Amino acid sequence: MSNEYVVVAEKRDDQGKGASRRLRRENGKVPAIVYGKGSEPTPISVMHKDLVKSLENEAFYSHILTLQLDGKDESVILKDLQRHPYKPTILHADFQRISQDQKIHVNVPIHFINEEKCVGVRMGGGAISHMVSEAEVVCLPSNLPEFLEIDMLNVNVDEILHLSDIKLPKGVELAELIKGDDHDNPVVSVHKIRGGLEEEHGGEEGEEPETE
């Protein structure tokens, strides 16, 4: 996978909650940290507006990023993001350095395709329920997928698809399945819609609804 996203960062010396608040308020920057690959964690800062713009693209979360720091480029992934509970503000970000020969753990979004053509919905009158929207993959950086897909075309009513039903790219494993078959969690299902025309009208015409 090629580096399509660049994160421009600066080292920061002041640390602590007060320094972080000043950084956000006075300089429009987000306090962050980069760690891993046998190096000491390095406190950094990135421009808030640039980070927010990058985060608008779903692929930013599951891409290999190029971190530009002190005139050097490093390959990193976004490992954690702390957002303000109600304001559109990024409070902190964690970046992890990566090596091309070491496997990484990354949460990747799941795309559900052909939902509008799903046989359980179109022919069976069912509804689709998503249990999860992402899955943790384990792979080398070069094999990191941007997303995973589940095809809903032939899923019938009362059918459940699990993690093992996801078709994985070559060299990619799911972290949960590595733990064993008992971690083959449900991902999506098609279920019957509760209630129907008869239930809505209280049974057949002329019938009194049952009472206890």
**C-alpha span between 144 and 64 (Å, rounded):** 8
DSSP 146-160: S-EEEE-TTPPTTEE
Mean pLDDT value across residues 57-77: 94
Q: What is the DSSP letter of 47?
A: E
**C-alpha span between 108 and 143 (Å, rounded):** 12
Whether the per-residue pLDDT at 200 is higher than 50: the answer is no
Q: What pLDDT digit, counting tens, does each position of 6-51 carry?
A: 999 999 887 667 667 777 777 889 999 999 988 889 999 999 999 9
Our separate counts of H helices and E strands in the chain read: 5, 13
Q: Residue 90: what pLDDT?
A: 94
The domains found in the chain, sorted by start residue, are 5-97 (2.40.240.10), 104-195 (2.170.120.20)
Whether the per-residue pLDDT at 208 is higher than 80: the answer is no
CA-CA-CA-CA torsion for 169, 65, 138, 80, nearest 10 degrees?
-130
The residue type at 132: V
- Sequence-distant (6+) residues with CB within 8 A of 36 are 96, 97, 98
Whether the per-residue pLDDT at 78 is higher than 60: the answer is yes
Angle value at C-alpha 151, between 148 and 157, nearest 5 degrees: 130
- φ, ψ for residue 190 (rounded to 5)? -120, 120
Cβ atoms of residues 157 and 190 within 8 Å:
yes
Least confident of 50-54, 62-66, 176-180, 200-204: 200-204
Q: Residue 203: what pLDDT?
A: 47
Q: Residue 31: what pLDDT?
A: 94
Whether the per-residue pLDDT at 103 is higher than 70: the answer is yes
Burial label for 211, CB within 10 Å (0-12, 13-18, 19+), is: exposed
Q: What is the DSSP letter of 173?
A: E
What is the C-alpha radius of gyration for the chain, rounded to an integer number of angstroms?
23
**C-alpha span between 80 and 90 (Å, rounded):** 11
Mean pLDDT value across residues 158-171: 97
